[in-house]
Amino acid sequence: MITNAHSVKNSFILLVTLLPWHHTAEALTTPHKPNILWIIMDDVGAELPCYREKKILTPNIDRLVREGTKFDRAFLTASVCSPSRSAMITGMYQTTIGVHHHRSGRGTEKIHLPNGVEPVPALFQRAGYFTCNGDYPAKAKRVGKTDYNFEWDAKIYDGSDWSERKNGQPFFAQLQLWGGKNRNDDGHWHRDLAPKALGTLTKPEDVSLPPYYPRDPLLLEDWAQYLDCIRLCDKQVGEILHRLENEGILEQTIIILMGDNGISHARGKQFLYDEGIRTPFIVRGPGIEHGAVRTDLIAHIDMAATSLAWASQPVPKWMQGRDIFAKDYTKRDAVFAARDRCGETVERIRSVRTEQFKYIRNFSPLRPMLQPNDYKDSKPVVQRLRELHTQGKLNALQEEILFSPTRPKEELFDVLADPFEIHNLAADPQFRNTLETLRTKLDHWIEETQDLGNESEKAYDANLNYELMPPISNARKEAMLKNSALMKQWAMEGK
Nearest to 319 by CA among 87, 112, 82: 87
pTM: 0.93
Write out pLDDT tens, residues 261-296. 999 999 999 999 999 999 999 999 999 999 999 999
Question: Half-sphere exposure of 267 toward its Cβ, with a 13 Å CA cutoff?
Answer: 19
Nearest to 46 by CA among 175, 137, 180, 218: 180
Question: Per residue in 321-346, is it b (16+ CB within 10 Å) or e — as a string?
Answer: bbbbbbeebeebebbbbbbbbbbbbb
* pLDDT lower than 70: segments of the chain: 1-31
- The C-alpha angle with vertex 261 and arms to 259 and 262, in degrees rounded to 5, equals 95
Write out pLDDT tens, residues 287-303. 999 999 999 999 999 99
Q: Between the CA of residue 226 and those of 178, 223, 260, what are the distances in Å?
A: 12, 5, 15
pLDDT at 12: 52
Dihedral over Cα of 420, 424, 426, 432: its sign: negative
**Which burial class, exposed, middle or buried, applies to 166 when counting CB atoms under 10 A from its CB (0-12, 13-18, 19+)?**
exposed
Q: Between the CA of residue 377 and those of 36, 424, 463, 479, what are the distances in Å?
A: 38, 26, 19, 10
User: What architecture is the 1-495 domain classified under in CATH?
Assistant: 3-Layer(aba) Sandwich (3.40)
In angstroms, the CA 382 to CA 10 distance is 41
Three-state SS for 443?
helix
Residue spans of alpha helices (H) in 184-248? 188, 194-198, 217-246
pLDDT at 2: 36
Give the distance, in angstroms, between the CA of residue 77 and the centroid of all CA atoms in the same chain: 7
